């Protein structure tokens, strides 16, 4: 069973890396940048997609680290 994609979400005064469909955080961080780096490592290791949220909860950015059958046409990375 897949573990679910990691999401960087606001949590209290900091940021958390939390998997889809999970109530518990994988890790807690003081800044969004620290949480995004931790989430990126998880997504790379598991070949999944990372979602980074804004403080209001909207998705700000996403990165795919798996084999994508329909890769994006932009050259962001």
What is the pTM assigned to this prediction?
0.82
Do residues 62 and 44 touch, judged by C-beta distance below 8 A?
no
Q: Which of 69, 68, 57, 20 is nearest to 42 (CA)?
A: 20
Residue 54's contacts (CB-CB under 8 Å, 6 or more residues apart) are 60
pLDDT of 1? 41
pLDDT tens string 40-74: 999 999 999 999 999 999 999 999 887 766 666 66
pLDDT in tens, 6-48: 999 999 999 999 999 998 999 999 999 999 999 999 999 999 9
pLDDT, residue 69, reads 65
């Amino acid at each position: 069973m897949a573990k679910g994609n990691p999401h960087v979400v606001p949590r209290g005064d900091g940021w958390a890396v939390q998997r889809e469909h999970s109530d518990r955080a994988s890790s807690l961080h003081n800044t969004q940048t620290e949480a995004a780096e931790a989430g990126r490592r998880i997504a790379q290791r598991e070949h999944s997609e990372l979602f980074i949220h804004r403080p209001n909860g909207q998705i700000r950015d996403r990165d795919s680290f798996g084999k994508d059958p329909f890769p994006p046409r932009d050259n962001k990375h």
